[in-house]
Amino acid sequence: MKTQVMLLAALMLAGCGTFETVVRSDEAAVKRLKERKTYCGAVPRIYSGVTYDFCTLHALPGPGIDEYQYDGAGTPVVLLDVVISGVLDTMLLPYTIYRQQADGSIIVAE
């Protein structure tokens, strides 16, 4: 059980919206969102992980969202990531406010 929880935590962190937008480069986040064919034009750095997850949900059906597995109840795993990203985004709020002021939003569509 403990190993399963650790594995789930590692998988969630690897696909976490906060990790994608705060830790990785802007280009990497833009590339992933374009691969998922999202309709989002920009992602603000403040609560960027939550916004990234909602952009992922607001994408064309198909290869862009198929990587998220569904549990037995039919709830996408990405909704769990929204909660995790919300907590992490809140903890990183001073840093993301600074980055928003210094660099602006992450522009997806140009």
Res. 33: pLDDT tops 80: yes
22 versus 58: which is more confidently predicted?
22
- Mean pLDDT (whole number) for 88-99: 94
Domain residues for the domain of 48 are 2-107
Of the chain, the end-to-end C-alpha distance in Å amounts to 46
Q: How much is the pLDDT for 80?
A: 83
Q: Which pLDDT tens digit goes with each residue over 49-58?
A: 999 988 888 8
Our count of domains for the chain comes to 1
- CB 54 within 8 Å of CB 85: no
Q: How much is the pLDDT for 79?
A: 81
Q: How much is the pLDDT for 14?
A: 55
